[in-house]
Structure 1
């Protein structure tokens, strides 16, 4: 299966968590940690990323919601 990651270049004053929030929203728990793992050294750049930092935003599977079970109909 081909890697369908997206690459992003940071703009002035952006943070990694802001970029992750805009890209993934709040639907994926742990998305920031996954992005940091996919980008070794990104966390060492500090809270505000240098202008033009290339960030790999990997495809993350969205967990499926459990089907509700009804005991009584």
Structure 2
């Protein structure tokens, strides 16, 4: 069963995903699916909106090496 949180003033779903999961790529879509109708509330959620947070396995950010000179 997913846990839930309540949004605070100015929260967006992306901001909540970043705060809870540490990333948004691929996560926001899953949280949207777990919360039918939440997109209808607009980009900035009303304060105290209940958001279900499904169990999502996140990956650590990639640490690719970039060579700037030859």
- When normalised by structure 2's length, the TM-score is 0.76
Task: Kindly state the Cα deviation for residue 6 of structure 1 after the two structures are TM-superposed.
Answer: 1.7
* Structure 1 runs, 4 residues or longer, greater than 6 Å off: none
Gaps of 5+ in 2: 60-70
> Superposition RMSD on alpha carbons, in Å?
1.5
Task: Kindly state the Cα deviation for residue 62 of structure 1 after the two structures are TM-superposed.
Answer: 3.6
Supply the distance in 1 between the matched residues of 2:57 and 2:7 (Cα, whole angstroms).
24
Task: Name 2:54's counterpart in structure 1.
Answer: 58
* Structure possessing the higher radius of gyration over alpha carbons: 1
Of residues 22, 34, 43, the one that matches 1:25 is 22
